Amino acid sequence: GSSMSSITDSRGSSSQVTESFFRSVLGQMETVYLNRNRTPKSVLELVRSIDDEQLCYDHLAFRTFGIDGYGIDSLSSFFLDYGYTPMDELKFPAKKLRALWFAPPDVSDIPGGSGVNGPLPRVFISELLVDQLSSQTQDVIRKYTQASPNGNKYAALSSALGTLTWEKPLSSEFEQLARESEYAAWTLVNGYAVNHVTISVHRLKSHLNKIKKLNQFLEEKGFKLNSEGGVLKVSPDGGLLQSSSVADSISFKFSDDITKSIPCSYIEFAERLVLPQYQNIPENEIRESHRRDGFEVGNADKIFESTFQDQLSRRTG
């Protein structure tokens, strides 16, 4: 878009940071993610080798600790300053999580731009309901958040650098959290790092623009997809179809000098179908706004498990 005019969101408020700065930050977050996670990197390369036109991101996702100012708001402020709009809340009582998603402002897209240079992605940020966990687990989380009481102000910076705002934990603390909440354990060691990027499947131009075809193609190439509740997650209205890889693992050195393999990030795929009221619009006139928007609690509940041990230890096929 034009770098000289300010960006206006759907409510008419203008952005407080420039588009070029905003996109560079997203680009750094993406670089950290691609350097750490082989599967997303090779999936993106593979999809681009078949479909060499525009590759759009549907959304970026992040996890947070809902305590001491470290929750959703700590990271959403960066997106709100760029003109994103808070949309719906999603609740996951069994996992002790809640999430909010944010719609991007209307910016004039760079024609044909891909990834972070393409149409701006939605943003999905979740938080752990820390108050509902055992006192031992709360103590571990508070130990790290309270020792870095201003770290929450630098959430976007932390994500772009790929550095935790708190000290590295002991391996025993990681294990303790993992027993109670794998989400908590993931967040303790990955912090504000991008949890996943999601390929916008319907905006691909090749035959891979149908999620069933894409899933089949990736499984044939040997990629392991999250099978929780079935590989393909479909919203009750039938309009939002999602699938994801299983998270990669990286080796992490804890503060007690013990090195362990920990779950890192994954890649997701989303196909959004044209809404019933727009079925008669010619295909070349269909825009993103004619398609199923938002997220789905039943799909998301299963997608969270892409970083869980049950999925990581599953064998391929």
Least distance to Ni ion, CB of residue 270, Å: 7
Least distance to Ni ion, CB of residue 268, Å: 5
Least distance to ligand OOG, CB of residue 306, Å: 6
Identity of the residue numbered 85: T
What number of residues does the chain have?
A: 317
Out of 32, 61, 133, 218, point to the residue binding Ni ion (CB under 5 A): 61
Name which of Ni ion, ligand OOG, none residue 195 binds, using a CB cut-off of 5 to 8 Å depending on partner kind: ligand OOG
Name which of ligand OOG, Ni ion, none residue 299 binds, using a CB cut-off of 5 to 8 Å depending on partner kind: ligand OOG
User: Looking at beta carbons only, is 23 or 98 nearer to ligand OOG?
Assistant: 98
User: Looking at beta carbons only, is 15 or 226 nearer to ligand OOG?
Assistant: 226
User: Looking at beta carbons only, is 7 or 266 nearer to ligand OOG?
Assistant: 266
Residue with tokens 């940071």: 17
Q: Is 271 in the site for Ni ion (CB under 5 A)?
A: no
Name which of ligand OOG, Ni ion, none residue 190 binds, using a CB cut-off of 5 to 8 Å depending on partner kind: none
Q: Is 125 in the site for Ni ion (CB under 5 A)?
A: no
Name which of Ni ion, ligand OOG, none residue 126 binds, using a CB cut-off of 5 to 8 Å depending on partner kind: ligand OOG
Q: Where are the alpha helices (DSSP H) in 51-107?
A: 72-81
201: nearest Cα among 218, 226, 224, 222: 218
Distance CA 127, CA 137 (A): 15
Residue with tokens 């300010």: 6
Least distance to ligand OOG, CB of residue 304, Å: 4
Out of 268, 271, 301, 305, point to the residue binding Ni ion (CB under 5 A): 268
Six-digit token string for 148: 């870095």
Query: How crowded is residue 92: how many other Cβ atoms within 10 Å of its Cβ?
Result: 16
User: Looking at beta carbons only, is 72 or 107 nearer to ligand OOG?
Assistant: 72
Distance CA 168, CA 295 (A): 33
Is the CB of residue 84 less than 8 Å from the CB of residue 100?
no
User: Looking at beta carbons only, is 69 or 298 nearer to ligand OOG?
Assistant: 298
202-238: b (≥16 Cβ within 10 Å) or e: bbbeeebeebeebbebbeeeebbbbebeebebbbeee
Least distance to Ni ion, CB of residue 57, Å: 10
Query: How crowded is residue 310: how many other Cβ atoms within 10 Å of its Cβ?
Result: 12
Q: What is the DSSP letter of 133?
A: S
Q: Which residues contribute to the site for ligand OOG (CB under 6 A)?
A: 61, 63, 124, 126, 195, 242, 268, 295, 299-300, 303-304, 306
